[in-house]
């Protein structure tokens, strides 16, 4: 399983990429998909913005087995609780948004099953299993608007402080940092420019049209690796 950014830069397209880009309107969205990496003695320490949460949860659980302790929240506008095959500690509701509070023991297949049924929900879940120690802030991500920057922009740039992962999985590192998988320290940010939204003709309601529209534009990848800076661009249609 590749991250959405790796898919786009390798010229691939998927339903997963489409689902992630549904939230974008026309305009420029800066400081997205922020990544920081540090090489440690026997593993890597990775920090990211919220956009990588679902990728981390799915990618790690697909390589896990047995019972694991999971804590965090699942955020959605849909009624997910009835499809949960694991314990839900509480359900919080606010302005049509539902937060399922999770603090239980469960198996990977049960969470993955829910993700398959509700791929557009936000899975802010923390757990440790095998070669992975994943911590994600238990709060909804900020939606942001074109032209806005994430909190903590300033001189130091946007902060990668929503997800934290420690792992010895080299393939994970090669996916996230596909241009420079061998590094001591690296930081990457992305600016997404949606230039065109191609509306489908076989849907009638505004919601259906928005969710099935194809977004076309350019993504800019700004890399700072071991003191060297580089910018790459790639067009997309998802």
190 vs 179: CA distance, rounded Å: 14
Nearest Cα neighbor of 238 from 41, 65, 8 is 8
Q: Which residues contact 19 (CB under 8 A, 6 or more apart)?
A: 119, 120
pLDDT band at 105 (very low <50, low <70, confident <90, very high): very high
Bridge-based pairing of strands 185-198 and 44-48 is: unpaired
- CA–CA distance, 120 with 167 (Å, rounded to integer): 26
Distance CA 74, CA 138 (A): 8
**pLDDT higher than threshold 60 for residue 150:** no
* pLDDT classification of 233: cutoffs 50, 70, 90: very high
Q: What is the mean pLDDT of residues 115-120?
A: 94
Q: In sequence order, which residues have a C-beta less than 8 Å from that of residue 31 and are 6 or more positions away? A: 49, 149, 150, 153, 157, 158, 189, 190, 191
Structural domain spans, the chain: 4-50+142-237, 65-129
Output the CATH code of domain 65-129.
3.30.70
What SS3 state is found at 11?
A: coil
Q: Which tens digit of pLDDT belongs to each residue from 26-67? A: 999 999 999 999 999 999 999 999 999 999 999 999 999 999
Per-residue pLDDT band at 143 (split at 50, 70, 90): low
Supply the pLDDT for residue 205. 87
Task: Report pLDDT for 161.
Answer: 94
What is the C-alpha separation between 92 and 181, in angstroms, rounded? 40
Beta pairing partners, 29? 192
Token pair recorded at residue 166: 């420690």
How do residues 156-190 score in pLDDT, each as one tens digit? Answer: 567 899 999 999 999 999 999 999 999 999 999 99
Nearest residue to 85 via CA among 56, 61, 60, 108: 108
Any alpha helices (H) in the chain, and if so which ranges? Answer: 4-9, 15-21, 53-61, 108-117, 170-176, 206-212
The whole-angstrom separation of Cα 134 and Cα 43 is 13
Under 8 Å CB-to-CB from 237, ≥6 apart: which residues?
Answer: 13, 214, 215, 216
Alpha-carbon gap, residue 58 to 34, rounded angstroms? 19
Please report, for the chain, how many H helices and E strands are present, in that order: 6, 11
The end-to-end CA distance of the chain, in Å, is: 17
């Amino acid at each position: 399983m590749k991250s959405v950014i790796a898919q786009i830069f390798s010229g691939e397209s998927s339903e997963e990429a489409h689902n992630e880009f549904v939230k974008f309107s026309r305009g420029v969205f800066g400081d997205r998909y922020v990544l920081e990496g540090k090489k440690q003695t026997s593993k890597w320490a990775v920090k990211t913005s919220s956009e990588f949460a679902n990728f981390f949860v799915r990618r790690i659980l697909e390589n896990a087995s047995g019972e694991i302790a999971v804590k965090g929240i699942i955020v959605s506008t849909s009624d997910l609780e009835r499809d949960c095959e694991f314990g839900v500690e509480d359900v919080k509701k606010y302005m049509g948004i539902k937060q399922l509070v999770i603090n239980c023991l469960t198996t990977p297949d049960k969470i993955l099953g829910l993700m398959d049924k509700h791929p557009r929900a936000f899975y802010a879940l923390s757990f440790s299993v095998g070669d992975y120690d994943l911590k994600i802030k238990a709060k909804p991500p900020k939606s942001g608007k074109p032209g806005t920057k994430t909190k903590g922009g300033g001189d130091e740039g946007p902060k990668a402080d929503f997800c934290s992962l420690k792992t010895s999985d080299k393939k994970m590192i090669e996916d996230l940092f596909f241009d420079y998988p061998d590094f001591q320290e690296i930081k990457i940010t992305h600016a997404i420019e949606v230039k065109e939204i191609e509306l489908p003709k076989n849907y009638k309601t505004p919601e259906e049209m928005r969710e099935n529209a194809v977004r076309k534009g350019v993504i800019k990848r700004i890399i700072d690796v071991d003191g060297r800076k580089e910018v790459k661009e790639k067009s997309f249609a998802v």
